Amino acid sequence: VTRELTVAEQAVTRAHAELCALPEGESLCAVGSDEDLDARLDAAIDRWTEESGRWEPLAERVAQRPALVAEIQTLDSAIVEADRRTAQTRTLLDAAPERRAEALAALAEAGELRMQVPKLRAERDALRRVREAHTDRDAVLVRLATAEKELLDARDAHAAARERVLDARERRLAGMAVELAGGLVEGEPCVVCGSATHPRPATDDGGVPASEVAVDEDAAAAAEERASAIKAIAQSAVAALVERRTHLDAVIGGARSDAVDADLARVGAELAAAERTASRLPALQTAIDRIDAEVDAWRTTLADDESAQSARRERVTALRQTLTELDEAVREATGGRGGVAERRRELAELVRRTRRHRNARQEAARARDRVAEATDRLSAACADAGFDDVAAVRAASVPDKQIAAWDTLLQEAASLRAAAEETLADEDVRAAMSAPEPDVEQLTADRDAARRRLDTAAKEHAVAGRQAADLQEYVTHFWEALDALAPLQARHAELQGLAELVSGRGQNARRMSLRSYVLAARLDEVLVAASGRLREMSSGRYEFVHTDAAGVRGRRGGLGIEVRDEYTGALRPTTTLSGGETFFASLALALGLADVVSAESGGRVLDTIFIDEGFGTLDPEALDLVMGVLDDLRAGGRVVGVVSHVDELRARIPAQLHVLRGEHGSSVRVQSPLGVS
C-alpha cells in the first residue's frame, strides 16, 4: 500500500509538470490555493472542451483543405498531361497522310512483286534441275568409268574362262581312247568296233585321268557361264549409265555449272525478296487499315480531350475559389495566430493533461486513505499477537526460506511414516514375515524359466500384434478403396445403363437408339403436316401414321410410316399403295417436310419446288386434286416447277419451258401467257 502511495504521488508530480509545461496550464496551476485546484481543473476542462466544440465545423472544413490542394494539383497535372497528349496526337495526325501514302506505295510494289513470284519459281525450279543434272552427271561419269573398267575385267575373265574350257575339252579328246579303254569289260562288245575281245586296250601314259579331265571340264564350263553372266551384267550397267548420261546432257543443254550456280543464286535471291515482299501484302493492307483506324481514334480522342480539359479547368477554378474562401474564414476566426487544427490539438492536449493531473490527484488521495486504513489494521494485529509494535514483530520473525525448509522436512517425515505403517499393515508382508525361509535357488530357477516364457510370449505377442496392426491397416485400406470405388461403380452402372438405353439395348423396351428417338419426334411433326396435304389429295381417304414397331427379324424400329385408310379404318403399309397413291403420298411428305423446315427456320419459306415426273400414274381425278394443291402453293407465292411428258398438264400449266432437239443441238422455247419466245 505504501508503494502504491509512492507511485501515485510520483504520477501526480509528473502530471503537474506536464500540465505546467503548457502556458495556459502553468497559469491554471499558479492561480489560487491547492485545496480548490480540483475545482479549477474541472472548470478548465469544461471551458477548453466547449471551445474545441466551437472550432469543430471550421476544423472539418480545414481538414478537407489538403484534399482540395491535392485535387487542384492533380487536375493541374492532368491538364498539363492532356495538353501534352493533345499536342502529340496532333503531331501524329499531321504525320498520318504521309505514312498512309508510304504504305500505299509499298502495297503497290508488293503487288507487282507478287505477280513475278510464279515466274521466278518456275525459273528457279528449272535451274535446280540443271544443277542437279550437273551433280548427277559427275556421279554418273565416275560410275561409268568404274563400270567400263569392270566390263573390261569381265570380258578378260570370260575370255580366260573360255580358254580353260577349250583346253579341258582338248585334253579330254586327247585322252578319249584311254577313257574308252577304261570302260571296256572282258567278254562285252566294244562300243567302237563291236569286238568282244580286247587284245590291246589303250593305257594311260602318265597323264591326267579321264575322270579328272571331265571334272575339270565341267568346272571350267561353270566358270565360263558365271563369267558370261558377270559380263552381261557389266554390259547392262554400262548401257544404263550411258543412257543416263545422255539424258543428263539433254537436261543440261550445254550450260556451264558455274553459270547455273550464279543464275540460281540470283534467281533465288530475287524470289526470296519477292516472296518476302508479297508476304507483307496482308500486313501492309492491315497497316493502312490501322492508320485509318488510328486517325479516326485520334480525332475522337482530340474531341474527348478538349471536352475533358474544359471540365477540368472549370473544376480547378471552382476549387481555387473554395480554397480562398476557406483560408479567409480561418484568418478571420484565428486572427492570424495559427491554424484551426493546431488550436484544436492544443486544446485537446490541455484537456488530456488536465484530466491526467486531476485523475492522478484523485488516485493519490485514495492511496493515502488506504495507507491510513492499513496502518490502523497493522497496529491492531500487533496488539492481538502480543507485540508492542511492528519492530518487535520483525525482530521475532525468521526468513521465509527457513520456514519453507522446515515445512519440507516435516512433510517428508510424515510421508515416510505413513509409507512404513502402510507396508507393515499389508497382509502379504505380515504373512511373509511369519513364513519360513524360502528356497532362493529354486525360486531363482523358477524366475528364470518364467522370464524365458515371458520373453517367448512377448515375441509372439509382438509378432501377432504387428500382424494384427497390418491386417487392420489392410482392412482399413480395403474399405477405403471400396468406399472410393462405390461412387465410380454407381456412376459406371448409371452410364452403362444410359449408354444401353441410348443405343437401344438394356431397359429400352422399344429397342430404339437416341438418334432414332429424336428423329421419330421430328418425324411426328412432319407426318402431322403431311397428313393434311395427303387428306386433301386423297379426298379425305388417307392420312399418315407414325409407328415405332420393330421390324422383321428383330430389326430396330422407331422410324416407320403407315397409312390409315378411312374407308376401312385399318392401318396399311405404304408398300400397299398404288403407283398414283404413292406419288401423291410422296408429294405430301415433301410438302409437309417443307412446312416443318419453314416453321423451324424462323419463317423462312422454301419458295421454289420442283417435281420430276410421276404425274403419268395419276387418274384424271387424282391429277385434278394434285394440281389443285400445286395451284394453292403457287397462289401462296411459291414457284412450282413440274418436269413431265403428260400432255394433260400442258393445259393446266400457264408458263412452260420446252426443250427441243435439233440437228445442231437442243434449244429452249419459253411459253408464257404473254406469248412464245
In a domain? residue 417: no
CATH number of the domain enclosing 671:
3.40.50.300
Antiparallel, parallel or unpaired: β 665-672 and 639-643: unpaired
Contact at 8 Å (CB) between 75 and 319? yes
The torsion angles phi and psi of 641, rounded to 5 degrees, stand at -105, 130
Cell (9 digits) for 84 = 501534352
What is the DSSP code string of 540-565?
T-EEEEEE----GGG---S-EEEEEE
The total number of residues shown for the chain amounts to 677
- pLDDT at 321 (0 to 100): 85
Q: Which of 460, 485, 506 marks a domain boundary?
A: 506
3-state secondary structure of 646: coil
Using the predicted structure, report yes or no on whether residue 295 has a pLDDT greater than 80.
yes
> SS in 3 state form for 163-208?
HHHHHHHHHHHHCHHHHHHHCCCCCCCCCCCCCCCCCCCCCCCCCC
Residue 258's pLDDT band (cuts 50, 70, 90): confident
Provide the pLDDT for residue 502. Answer: 64
Structural domain for 529, as ranges = 514-676
Confidence band of 118 (pLDDT split at 50, 70, 90) = confident
Ranked by mean pLDDT, the top range of 20-34, 99-113, 259-273 is 259-273
Cell of 277: 515482299
**Structural domain includes residue 303:** no
**CA 277 vs CA 5, 122, 348: distances in Å:** 99, 18, 80
Report how far residue 195's alpha carbon sits from residue 189's, in angstroms, rounded to the nearest whole number: 5
Out of 255, 287, 319, a domain closes at: 287
**Is pLDDT above 80 for 648?**
no
- Does residue 377 lie within any of the structural domains? no
Query: Is 372 part of a structural domain of the chain?
Result: no
**Same-domain check for residues 602 and 523:** yes
Per-residue pLDDT averaged across 261-277, rounded?
79
Segment 80-116, tens digit of pLDDT: 888 888 888 888 888 888 878 877 777 777 777 667 7
Which phi and psi angles does 611 have, rounded to 5°?
A: -120, 120
pLDDT band for 597, please (50, 70, 90 cuts).
confident
The pLDDT tens digits of the residues spanning 608-621 come to 777 776 666 677 77
Question: In terms of domains, do 564 and 529 share one?
Answer: yes
| Span 492-525, pLDDT tens digits | 888 877 776 666 565 555 566 667 777 777 788 8
pLDDT score of 205 more than 60 = no
With a cut of 80, say whether residue 655 has pLDDT above it. no
Residue 661 burial class via C-beta count within 10 angstroms: exposed 0-12, middle 13-18, buried 19 and up: exposed
Whether residue 104 sits in one domain with residue 214: yes
In a 13 Å sphere around the CA of 398, the CA atoms on its Cβ side amount to 6
pLDDT, residue 211, reads 56
pLDDT of residue 264: 79
| Other residues' Cβ atoms within 10 Å of the Cβ of residue 8 | 21
Domain membership flag for residue 407: no
More confident residue, 677 or 586: 586
621: left (phi over 0), alpha (psi -120 to 50) or beta: alpha
Answer yes or no: are the C-beta atoms of 546 and 527 closer than 8 Å: yes
Q: How much helix, strand and coil, in percent to the nearest 5, is found in the chain?
A: 75, 5, 15
- Residue pointed to by grid coordinates 518456275: 122
Closest CA to 88 of 96, 99, 98: 96
In a domain, 429, yes or no: no
Backbone angles phi, psi at 469, to 5 degrees: -65, -45
Compute the average pLDDT of residues 549-563.
66
- Mean pLDDT across the stretch 407-420? 85
Can you give 138-150 as a three-state secondary structure string?
A: HHHHHHHHHHHHH
Same domain, 129 and 224: yes
In the chain, count of helices (H) and strands (E)? 17, 8
Determine which helix (DSSP H) or strand (DSSP E) holds 282, and give its type and residue range: helix 281-334
pTM of the model: 0.30
Instruction: Report whether pLDDT(573) > 60.
Output: yes
pLDDT in tens, 52-87: 665 566 666 666 777 888 888 888 888 888 888 888
The rounded distance, in Å, linking the Cα atoms of 563 and 565 is 6
Q: Supply the pLDDT for residue 442.
A: 84
Neighbour order of strands in the sheet with 656-662: 656-662, 665-672, 675-676
Q: Cβ(357)–Cβ(19) under 8 Å?
A: yes
Over residues 656-674, the mean pLDDT reads 73
Please give the pLDDT value at position 595: 78
Q: Are residues 181 and 270 in the same domain?
A: yes
For range 568-578, the mean pLDDT: 83
Q: Give the residue-averaged pLDDT of 179-187.
A: 70
Contact (CB, 8 A) for 69 and 319: no
* 121 assigned to some structural domain: yes
Residue 154 burial (10 A CB sphere; 0-12, 13-18, 19+) = buried
Of 157-171, 242-256, 518-532, 538-552, give the lowest mean pLDDT range.
538-552
What is the model's pLDDT at position 110?
Answer: 72
Give CA separation, 211 vs 161, 163, 177, 260, in Å.
Answer: 20, 20, 13, 68
Contact 220, 166 (CB under 8 A): no
Q: Reply yes or no on whether the pLDDT at 35 is more than 70.
A: no
**Does 62 lie in the same domain as 73?**
no
Domain count of the chain? Answer: 4
- Residue 571: its H or E element: strand 570-573
Question: Which pLDDT band, with edges at 50, 70 and 90, does 177 fall under?
Answer: low
Say yes or no: 160 and 232 in one domain.
yes
Give tens-digit pLDDT for 316-358: 888 888 877 777 766 665 545 555 566 666 767 777 877 787 7
Cα–Cα distance list, 327 to 59, 74, 337, 591 (Å): 12, 20, 13, 89
Q: Residue 41's CB: how many other CB atoms inside 10 A? A: 20
The reply to whether 450 and 595 lie within a common domain is no
- Residue 558 is predicted with a pLDDT of 63
Specify the DSSP element, H or E, that contains 570.
strand 570-573
Q: Which of 365, 381, 401 is the last residue of a domain?
A: 365
Residue 577 DSSP label:
S
Q: Strand pairing partners for 612?
A: 643
Q: What pLDDT sits at residue 664?
A: 67
pLDDT tens digits for 380-411? 777 777 777 767 766 667 677 877 887 888 88
**How confident is the prediction for the chain on average, in pLDDT?**
76
First to last CA, the chain: 134
Instruction: Tell me what percent of the residues of the chain surpass a pLDDT of 90.
Output: 0
Of the given ranges (114-118, 212-216, 244-248, 295-299), which has the lowest mean pLDDT?
A: 212-216
Mean pLDDT for 374-379 is 76
Domain assignment of residue 112, yes or no: yes
Are the CB atoms for 655 and 673 separated by under 8 Å?
yes
In this prediction, residue 638 carries a pLDDT of 73
73 and 63 housed in the same domain = no
Q: What is the pLDDT of residue 605?
A: 66
Q: Are 122 and 165 in a shared domain?
A: yes
Question: In this predicted structure, what is the pLDDT of residue 34?
Answer: 63
Q: Are residues 660 and 534 in the same domain?
A: yes
Q: According to the model, what pLDDT value does residue 260 have?
A: 78
Longest dimension (CA), the chain: 190
In this structure, the answer to whether residues 278 and 360 fall within a common structural domain is no
Mean pLDDT lowest among 40-49, 199-208, 222-231, 260-269: 199-208
DSSP state of 661: E
* Predicted pLDDT of residue 77: 86
